[in-house]
Amino acid sequence: MNSYFGSPFSPKGVPLLLWITMYWSAFIGGLILVALLLLPFGVELPGFSVDGKPVPPSQFFHDPVGVWFIPLGVVLAILAYALFTRRPWSRTVMFGLTLALCFVTVLQVAIGTFAWTDAALTPLVPLVGWWYLYKSTGPTRYYEMLRSLRQSGAAV
Kindly give, in sequence order, each residue whose CB lies less than 8 Å from that of residue 79, ignoring residues fewer than 6 positions away: 21, 25, 29, 90, 93, 94, 97
Interatomic CA distance for residues 95 and 153, integer angstroms: 26
Q: Could you state, in order of their start, the residue ranges of all structural domains in the chain?
A: 16-152
> 14-20 long-range CB contacts below 8 Å, 24 or more apart?
14/142, 15/138, 15/139, 15/142, 16/138, 17/132, 17/139, 18/83, 18/90, 18/139, 18/142
User: What does the pLDDT read at residue 13?
Assistant: 78
Percent of the chain whose predicted confidence (pLDDT) is above 70: 77
pLDDT one-digit tens code per residue, 145-154: 888 888 887 7
By the 8 A CB rule, do 82 and 90 touch? yes
Please choose, from the candidates 78, 124, 132, 79, the residue with its C-alpha nearest in 3D space to the C-alpha of residue 105.
124
User: What does the pLDDT read at residue 26?
Assistant: 95
Interatomic CA distance for residues 81 and 118, integer angstroms: 31
User: What does the pLDDT read at residue 115?
Assistant: 76
pLDDT one-digit tens code per residue, 1-60: 444 455 555 566 788 899 999 999 999 999 888 888 877 676 666 666 666 777 666 676
